[in-house]
Amino acid sequence: EVQLVESGGGLVQPGGSLRISCAASGFTVSTNYMDWVRQAPGKGLEWVSMITSGGSTYYADSVKGRFTISRDNSQNTLYLQMNSLTTEDTAVYYCAREAPHGGGQPIDYWGQGTLVTVSS
């Protein structure tokens, strides 16, 4: 059974950093395209970042240069390192898997989300 479990969210001050994790089971992170999607309180879904099976990374303009997506193949875990955080980054962050069988697929599995709150 495919499962995605995020962790590492919490309260951080503006300008601070945080790394959130997504432990995967039931499939191999490194052979799939993986995404981070966030949702600010009361707002819509915002795509944040993607890592391909080949290791290429992509970012939304709103986080480019501040966030870094990565994976640990030995731990089957996806990460999002977030630096220079602002209050605009406050959101639930979802880890998501794109459907297998090649690049360019919809998201078929989502984690439960982890809340990141940026506040002084």
Site residues (CB under 8 A) for another protein? 35, 37, 44-47, 50, 58, 60-61, 94, 98-99, 104-108, 110-113
Nearest CA to 14 out of 74, 61, 82, 103 is that of 82
CB of 93 to another protein, least distance (A): 11
Instruction: Look up residue 20 and give its two tokens.
Output: 């959130």
CA dist 9 and 117 (Å) reads: 8
Q: Which is nearer to another protein, 27 or 110 (CB)?
A: 110
CB of 33 to another protein, least distance (A): 9
